[in-house]
Amino acid sequence: MLQAVNGEKTDRPPFWLMRQAGRYLPEYRATRAEAGSFLDLCYSPKLAEEVTLQPLRRYDMDAAILFADILLIPDALGQPLAYKEGEGPVLDPIRSESDLKSLSLDNLHTRLAPVYETVDRLSGSIPDHCTLIGFAGAPWTVATYMVEGRGSKDYVNIKKWMYSDPAGFSKLIDILVETTVEYLTKQVEAGAEIIQIFDTWAGVLPDNEFNTWVIQPTKRIVDSLRQRFPGLPIIGFPKGVGGNLDAFVKGTGVSAVSLDTGVSLDWAAATIQPQVTVQGNLDPILLVTGGQAMVDRIHHIHQTLKNGPFIFNLGHGIIPQTPPENVALLAETVKGLKN
């Protein structure tokens, strides 16, 4: 995994899967019930370590990704957060510069200390051949939840603030850049070997706003982390951005980029892979489907991307309806590939 993320060719593509610890596994559901709530699970180092290890025991991935959530940062900044059944995350929305007074960095590391302990525990408990990935949400994506107060389909409130008061909105982004750097610094100090930055909603921005709210904040995080940890591998995942992926790679300085399911593989091989390692991009619904259709697509993805640095993954996270045996078939298939 470390070889591939640093741009080297490997004998076979390493693999891990976004949301590999999750509700599709019965052992995860049992541990989640034991924790009491999703947030309690995130903040319990022993249980968060356990659910991170569960998919490794079954499928022997090449990387473990810390079990946490991108909204732990607003929670640690003092924005009330709850996860409601059938609704997902719900926050008290922040919609103007004056609302920023409710946020404070004072308790950031105290609140997030259990996450750092989870990373520390995992650095000693994952298999030797396995690489530990830490992560955070990108400022734009975290801000969408903070401003909308929940998941959104149209992003009216955040875009309205962004357009009407860019100077005020940029102060929220500045807070998120600073706290994300501090959060990821602690993860690396605790043992994370690679960082992934998830920008799930980067694709909802128009072309002329993409540089301001996606590329530049990500670049600031990458630059700050590299000043502290020269050579730190960082994977970016700006989902749904189409051709803007090229500008993202050129502008941010990431070591690798995760391809969502909609990215053309031929284009990625010709345009993106000569610049950085690519990661992806099997459709998560094909993992639900399984069978020969999935195996054929795995081989096609590999054929197209095997001539450059490549990490096998999904185009987004595993969904709860996924049969565990399909993940086993994926793991067996990927381990049999030859670059």
The closest of 118, 124, 126 to 44, measured between CA atoms, is: 118
Report how far residue 319's alpha carbon sits from residue 314's, in angstroms, rounded to the nearest whole number: 11
The closest of 63, 37, 68, 39 to 51, measured between CA atoms, is: 68
Q: How many other C-beta atoms are found inside a 10 Å radius of the C-beta of residue 128?
A: 4
Active-site residue, 29 included: no
Active-site residue, 59 included: no
Amino acid symbol at 136: A
Report how far residue 319's alpha carbon sits from residue 338's, in angstroms, rounded to the nearest whole number: 28
Q: How many other C-beta atoms are found inside a 10 Å radius of the C-beta of residue 23?
A: 14
- Which is catalytic among the residues 24, 28, 32, 62? 32
* 282 contacts 297 by C-beta, under 8 angstroms: yes
- Which is catalytic among the residues 19, 62, 120, 260? 19
Respond yes or no on whether the N-terminal peptide bond of residue 281 is cis (omega within 30° of 0).
yes
- Size (the chain), residues: 339
- Which is catalytic among the residues 145, 199, 220, 260? 145
Residues 6+ apart with CB under 8 A from 30: none
Active-site residue, 23 included: yes
Report how far residue 204's alpha carbon sits from residue 199's, in angstroms, rounded to the nearest whole number: 11
- Which is catalytic among the residues 62, 69, 75, 120? 69
- Which is catalytic among the residues 23, 58, 95, 226? 23
* 209 contacts 166 by C-beta, under 8 angstroms: no
Active-site residue, 128 included: no
131-137/88-91 β-pairing: unpaired
Report how far residue 208's alpha carbon sits from residue 104's, in angstroms, rounded to the nearest whole number: 31
Active-site residue, 57 included: no
> Active-site residues: which are they?
19, 23, 32, 69, 145
